[in-house]
Structure 1
C-alpha cells in the first residue's frame, strides 16, 4: 500500500522565484518529487520530473536552447510539455514523455501544483494584494531548513518564542504577557495579539526611524497571524505611537508591515522557506528595503537553528508526547485543517481507485 504524503498535494506551493531560473534550469525537490524548472518557448515557465528517460540523468544538469530543455548527458531535447523532440544522431520521438507539473508565475513567485494535474485551478492561488503594487515595497529571501513543515507553521502561529529566540531584535517580555486570541474562519486560522503602551524593541525602533517617527516613545504593538492551506502564513505586524489606535492608527503615527511566509515541503523533514516583508510606507526607499530585509534575514536565521534542533530531538524521541498550551491554539487549529485536507485527499484517492 502506498504511504500517503504528510502534506497536501492537490494545492499550490511556491517553488522558486523567477530569478532562480533566469540563466539555467533549476532542480528542486518539492513534496519528495525531484522537479526541474526552466523557461521554455516565449519565456513561459515549465516544470517536469528531473529525470531523463534515456539514462536517468538529472535534467537540471542540462541547459536550455531555443526553448527546449537539453539533457547535459547525451543531448536529448524536451519541450515544455515533456515530449522528447530530438537527440543528435538518434530517433527519439517515440520516447515516453516526461511527467510535467502545472506551474504559474504570479506575484513574483513561481507556483507548482504537485498533485493531480487535472485538478489544478489557478484561481486557488492566494491573492497577494501588496504584490505588483507601487504603494508597497517587498524584500525577501529563501532558506532551506531541516525541519518538518508543520513545525514552521507552529513557530509562526505562536510568536511567544520571540521573547527568547529573538531577544535582541523583536523579542520583549510584553509578548508573553499578552494572551493570544485564536479564531477559525473556514480554512483560515487567525491568531491575534495586541500590546499597549510598551517600549518598541530594536527592530521596530529602526522601522519607526525609517518612517520618520520617534523611536523612544511608548508604542502599541500588534501581531495578527493568518494561516491558510496548505502552509501559507501572512502576519500583519507593526507598532504605532501609543494612544493612536494601534493597527488602525493613521499612517503618520505607525510603522507596519506584512511578514510573508510561504513554506514548501521538500521532504518529510525539510522545507523550502520563502520569507519576506511587504510594507506600505516609503516604498520608494530601496535602502530601507535592503536594511529591513537584512534585519529580517538575521531574525529568521535564529528560527532556523532552533527548528532544526527541535526536529533532531523529535526524531530522537519519536514516542514522546508533546504538551499543548493556550499559546499553541493557532498551530493546533492549523494542523486540524491540514489533517482534514489530507483525509479528504486520501478518500478521493480511494474512490478513484475503486471506480
Structure 2
C-alpha cells in the first residue's frame, strides 16, 4: 500500500475534535490499593475528581472541590465514613452533601457533583459524563479477571502524551523491533504483514509469525512454564481496541508445529496484555497496564518477574511517546504519513470520533 498523508477526513480526531474523548463511558480511575484508608485526587477527562471509600465500604467519587473555600478535598482525610476537607474540616458524604463541620451549620449547603463509580475486575471505574446515562451493563466483561485459570500482575504509569498516541502504539506493534529489541522485539515482526479488520464493536489487528526463535521475554516465559526455550516457535499478536480507550492484546508462543495459536496448553505460553488508557488532559493520560496469563498461574514469583519485565518494556515506550507529543506540539501544522501498518490506530480513532459525534448530537437534540 502506498503511503499518503493524514488529513482531516482520514484522521479527524487528531486536529478537529474540541473534546478528544467520549465522556459517556466507563474509564479505569484507580486501583483499590490507591484509596486504602485515604482519598485520591485524579483528573480524568479534564474533570478533577476525588475518590474515597465511604463508611459502608462502597467507593465514591466527588468533584475535587470543597464547597466552603474551594480547596481540593483530596488533601483531606477519611473520618467516620465521611471525607473531611484538610483546610477547615468540612465533612462531605458520598452523595456530595455536607455532613458536618466543627461549630458550624453546614447541612444546608448545596451538594457538589458526584460521579458514578463501579468497583469490578480489580479496578475502580468512573463515568465522567452524564450520570443519567451511566449503565453498569456497558462495562466491558473481562473474563480473565474473574477466573482462577488466569494470573494477573500490572501497574500504572502517568504518561505525558495524548491517550490516542498510546492507542496508536498498541494497535501497531511494528515498533517492537526497534524500541523493544532486547525483550520482545525481533526483525520478523516488521517483516510479517499485519491484518486489520473490524469485528462488531472492536478494531482488530493481527500477526502470526511461524518458525522463529523466541525473543528473551518469551524464552523466560517458556522456562517458567517448564517448556524448552531454545527451539523454534510460532508466535502471535492479536490487538483488540474497544471504546472508550482500551486495548487487549492476545500474545504468546507455541512450540513449532504444535498448532500455533490453537496449540494445546501443554505446548504453549500465552496471555493477554491489558492496556487501559484514561485521559487526564489533552496531552496526558493514566496508563493502567498488566498481563493476564494462563500458564503457571500459581507461581507468584513468575507473576512478579513478568510484571517487572513488562513494566520495563512499557517504560521503553515512554521516552518515544513523550518526545513524539513534544514534536506534535511544536509543529501542529505538520501532516503525518499514513501507512498500511497504521490502519488499526486510524480505525480506532474513527471509532472514538464517532462516539464523540454521537454524544454531541444527543446533547444538541
Residues 169, 201 of structure 1: 8 Å contact kept: yes
Aligned to 2:223: 209
Q: How many residues align?
A: 349
Q: Which ranges of structure 2 fall in alignment gaps of 5 or more residues?
A: 1-16
TM-score after normalising by structure 2: 0.95
Q: Which ranges of structure 1 fall in alignment gaps of 5 or more residues?
A: none
2:339 counterpart of 1:325: yes
Aligned to 1:231: 245
CA distance in 1, matches of 2:66, 2:85: 7
2:338 counterpart of 1:315: no
- 3-state DSSP class of the match of 2:302? helix
Aligned to 1:74: 88
Residues 4, 346 of structure 1: 8 Å contact kept: no
**Aligned structure 1 segments of 4 or more residues deviating by more than 6 angstroms:** none
Q: Quote the offset at 1:42 in angstroms.
A: 1.4
2:310 counterpart of 1:296: yes
Of stretches 127-136 and 31-40 in structure 1, the one that deviates more from structure 2 is: 127-136
Aligned to 2:162: 148
CA distance in 2, matches of 1:185, 1:226: 9
2:130 counterpart of 1:120: no
Q: Quote the offset at 1:350 in angstroms.
A: 1.1
Larger RCO: 1 or 2 (CA < 8 Å, sep 6+): 2
Aligned to 1:286: 300
CA distance in 2, matches of 1:36, 1:287: 34
CA distance in 2, matches of 1:5, 1:74: 35
CA distance in 2, matches of 1:133, 1:62: 37
TM-score after normalising by structure 1: 0.97
Of stretches 98-107 and 128-137 in structure 1, the one that deviates more from structure 2 is: 128-137
Of stretches 270-279 and 339-348 in structure 1, the one that deviates more from structure 2 is: 339-348
- 3-state DSSP class of the match of 2:62? strand
Q: Which residues in structure 2 correspond to 1:66-145 (within 5 Å)?
A: 66-145=80-159
2:257 aligns with one of 243, 261, 274: 243
Aligned to 2:363: 349
Aligned to 2:319: 305
2:351 counterpart of 1:337: yes
Output one character per residue of 1:171-229: Cα deviation in whole Å (capped at 9) or x when no partner: 00000011011111232101010000001000000000000000010000000000000
Q: Quote the offset at 1:4 in angstroms.
A: 4.2
- 3-state DSSP class of the match of 1:93? coil
2:248 counterpart of 1:219: no
Q: Which residues in structure 2 correspond to 1:187-206 (within 5 Å)?
A: 187-206=201-220
Output one character per residue of 1:266-311: Cα deviation in whole Å (capped at 9) or x when no partner: 0000000000000011111000000000000000000111101100
Aligned to 1:30: 44
CA distance in 2, matches of 1:168, 1:4: 39
- 3-state DSSP class of the match of 2:338? coil
CA distance in 2, matches of 1:46, 1:165: 40
Aligned to 2:30: 16
